[in-house]
Amino acid sequence: MDRGNTWIFGYGSLIWNPGFEPAEQVLGRLSGYARSFCMWSIHHRGTPEEPGLVLALDSDDAATCDGMAFRVPEHSHDKIIAYIRERELVSSAYLEERVALTLRDGREIEALAYVVDRDHEQYTGHLDIETQADVIARARGGRGPNTDYLYSTAEHLTDLGIEDRTLTQLAALVRAKL
């Protein structure tokens, strides 16, 4: 891994809480994956007894996912990569993949992205939006209510000019349920 040119792709909570100061951050687009509430959360936004839902990149040849690309500062590369791996690989439900991103400024880069492992027990498959809303409305984990995660992600995507109709619709549905 090139310590001076390592990028991480954020599509969920990394967008609004990367946990480190990036050397550079640029909007980017990933092809072949969809942002999806397709992973049970048993640590951060739920518990094993009452799981929540978190976003994951789910393979979909027809999809694209817009998010934020963060370049890792060379001087703290190893510390940041260790932190991100500890955070994202807490239950092995994500796989660390190297993916090709197109940045908003036209650059083509390779980035680390955390993709759901479809063979992992935390993978939900496709849940309808009503089921997602029911789970998110009631779940709470070590980092707080599942609703906070949904609302923060939807709000930050909007602030960045990234349209995600599904998240906007889901947030409205959860608010209506509460």
Tens digits of per-residue pLDDT, 115-124? 999 999 999 9
Q: Domain 7-177: give its CATH code.
A: 3.10.490.10
In whole angstroms, give the CA distance from residue 101 to residue 65: 10
CA distances from 152 to 100, 122, 146, 158 (A): 26, 22, 10, 10
- Predicted local distance difference test score (pLDDT) of residue 91: 82
Residues 2-45 pLDDT 10s: 666 999 999 999 999 999 999 999 999 999 999 999 999 998 89
Nearest alpha carbon to residue 7 among 94, 87, 103 = 103
What is the 3 state secondary structure string of the chain? CCCCCCEEEECCHHHHCCCCCCCEEEEEEEEEEEEEEEEEECCCCCCCCCCEEEEEEEEEEEEEEEEEEEECCHHHHHHHHHHHHHHHCCCCCEEEEEEEEEECCCCEEEEEEEEECCCCCCECCCCCHHHHHHHHHHCEECCEEHHHHHHHHHHHHHHCCCCCHHHHHHHHHHHHHC
pTM of the model: 0.92
Name the residues annotated as catalytic: 88
Residues 45-98 pLDDT 10s: 999 999 999 999 999 999 999 999 999 999 999 999 999 999 989 888 999 999
Domain coordinates of the chain in residue numbers? 7-177
